[in-house]
Structure formats: C-alpha cells, structure tokens
Amino acid sequence: MKKLLTVVLLLAISSAWAQTFEGTIRWSMKMEITDPEMKAKMDANQQKMSDPATQEKMKKMQEQMNDPKMKAMMDANPAMKAQMENVMKMQQGGGDPSSFMPKGMVMKIKGENSLVTMEGGMMSGDILHTKDKSVRLDRENKTYTLMPTGEMSGQPKQQPTLTKTSETMKIMGYNCTKYVSTMTEGDHTVSSNIWTTTEIKDIDLKALAKQRMGRGQSMFGGNLEGVPLRVESKSKEGTMIMEVTEIKRESLNASDFIIPDDYKETQGMFGREK
C-alpha cells in the first residue's frame, strides 16, 4: 500500500515539466488489492467498523471534534486538524486501502509551473510546483506545506531499473511503447509498465526525469522516451492503473500557480518536518 502511494506521489511531484505545453491533463486511477493477508485484514476491519460499539466510539469522536473548544484548538493548529480528519476518513473507510487512494488526478501546466489536484482518497487536495519548490496546499485552512524534493543527507539515491520493450498499444489515438520499470526500497519492490508516446511534441519529459522526491528517487529514468500516458504498477499488496483520459490545450490564469498571500506555512502529511 505504501509503495503504491509512493508511485502516486512521485508522479504528482514529478509533474513540474519545462515545456511549451499549456493546458490540462486528466488521469484516471484504479486500484485492486490482491494480497490475501491484506484482504483478510480489510474484511476484519470492515466487520469491526460495523460493530455497534465501534460505531458508538466513532460518534463520540465526531462529537468531540465538533466541540467548540476542540474546534478552536484545531483551527489554531491546521496540521493537527488535517491529521485528525485523515484519521476519521481512514476509519470511515473501514480499513479498505483502496479508499485511501485517489480516484483521479488533474494536472494544470503553464510554463515551468504546474498545479496537481488529487481527486479523492487521503491525498485529496492540490500540489503546486513552481520553478524552485513544490508545496501542498490546504485550501480549507489556508495553509501550505513544503514537499520533500531533495535528497536526504547520508542516504543513497534510489533509482528505478528501466527496460524498453517492443510492445506497443494505442492510447487516445497515440502510438505508445511499453517500458518496464522496477523500483526497490528495502524488501519491497514495485514493478511498473509505463506506456509512452513520442507523438506529443510540446511536453518535455527530460525535465520531468530530473525531478526528485525524498531520497533522491526518480519516478522515471533518464532513458525513458516520450510522454507517459499509462502506468500499470504492481506490488505485494496489489495493482494500480493510472491512465491519461484527456489532454486539453488551453490558456490558464497565472494566478492559479502562486501561493495565495494569506496562506501560512505549516507541516503536515506528505510534507517536510519543520
């Protein structure tokens, strides 16, 4: 589960592409849990969530969050509020990992800036990329969190192994070639099939390949040619499929790609520790 979430984050954070393209790219996302042990845990969690005693605890927790004193305390600490809301979301999902995953992703790109909106799941919200940084925006609480994009000191770079194949398929009318990418960290491995096209000339993947997250990981190796339109990832827990469903060239407002003046920096999930 964690490795599949990492794939989503890597793709979202790696979307600061230097190119002539301006417009919107939409992705669909689907996840299937195949690990028997995880499936058993999901069933047990869902049964637990249906238990009247658990439902009563959930009700009390919600009442506590709605208490004026608690609300005032959370409003004063947006990071804590976001974490509490994520805990509630996970519990309401009954422990089903697929409920934590986004159902789609929208990328708005203008020059060297991009705005990525994750739709659904525990990562729902906006990630803004500018020339010098990436931040996660909390629109409701008017805060932002710097995302980890540089190497951690003392940690070796984790780079994927990339192999080009002779397999091809058409996606949205574009001819695509299949690459196989393997990314390992510790005893966990994610294998991905990446389908790319060289028929889209105004998106520069070379800039994307230079982007980094966390320990210097790169979502795509420098030898990947073309623009990815479909990513099929498989790990111990299950499989995830991400595919581009729309590429719309349009003029976008420059104001969409700046941090609002009234937003305050904070720390939170998937961001750096201050």
Across the range 98-121, mean pLDDT stands at 82
115: β partners: 108, 128
What CA–CA distance (Å, rounded) separates 259 from 64? 32
Give residue 19's pLDDT. Answer: 60
What CA–CA distance (Å, rounded) separates 246 from 19? 18
Across the range 19-38, mean pLDDT stands at 83
Strands 143-146 and 264-265: parallel
Residue 111 has pLDDT above 90, yes or no: no
Best-predicted range by mean pLDDT (12-21, 37-46, 167-176): 167-176
Give residue 211's pLDDT. Answer: 44
pTM for the model: 0.70
When comparing pLDDT for 125 and 41, which is higher? 125
- What does the pLDDT look like over 152-209, one tens digit per residue? 444 445 667 889 999 999 999 999 999 998 887 677 778 899 999 999 988 875 554 4
Element (DSSP H or E) covering residue 52: helix 52-66
What CA–CA distance (Å, rounded) separates 49 from 94? 6
Query: Please, which residues have CB within 8 angstroms of residue 61's CB and are 6 or more apart in sequence?
Result: 88
Across the range 28-55, mean pLDDT stands at 75
Which two three-digit tokens encode residue 116?
């990525």
For residue 80, how many C-alpha atoms fall within 13 Å in the half-sphere facing its CB? 9
Average pLDDT, the chain: 76
When comparing pLDDT for 63 and 83, which is higher? 63
Domains and their CATH numbers in the chain: 2-35+98-257 (2.50.20), 36-97 (no CATH)
Percent of the chain with pLDDT over 90: 25
Residue 214 has pLDDT above 60, yes or no: no
Residue corresponding to tokens 């994307």: 208
Residue 253 pLDDT class (50, 70, 90 cuts) = very high
Give residue 258's pLDDT. Answer: 93
Element (DSSP H or E) covering residue 2: helix 2-13
Residue 263 pLDDT class (50, 70, 90 cuts) = very high
| Environment class of 122 (CB within 10 Å of its CB; exposed 0-12, middle 13-18, buried 19+) | buried
Contact 229, 197 (CB under 8 A): yes
Percent of the chain with pLDDT over 70: 64
Give residue 57's pLDDT. Answer: 77
Give residue 229's pLDDT. Answer: 94
User: How many Å is the Cα radius of gyration of the chain?
Assistant: 20
- What does the pLDDT look like over 220-251, one tens digit per residue? 555 788 889 999 988 887 888 999 999 999 99
| Environment class of 11 (CB within 10 Å of its CB; exposed 0-12, middle 13-18, buried 19+) | buried
Amino acid at 15: S
For residue 1, how many C-alpha atoms fall within 13 Å in the half-sphere facing its CB? 17
In which order are the strands placed within the sheet that holds 188-197?
161-171, 174-185, 188-197, 227-234, 238-249, 22-33, 104-110, 113-119, 125-129, 134-138, 143-146, 264-265
Nearest-CA neighbor of 230 among 167, 188, 185? 167
- Give the sign of the dihedral formed by CA 204, CA 209, CA 212, CA 217: positive
Q: Cα-flanking dihedrals φ and ψ of residue 95, to 5°?
A: 80, 10
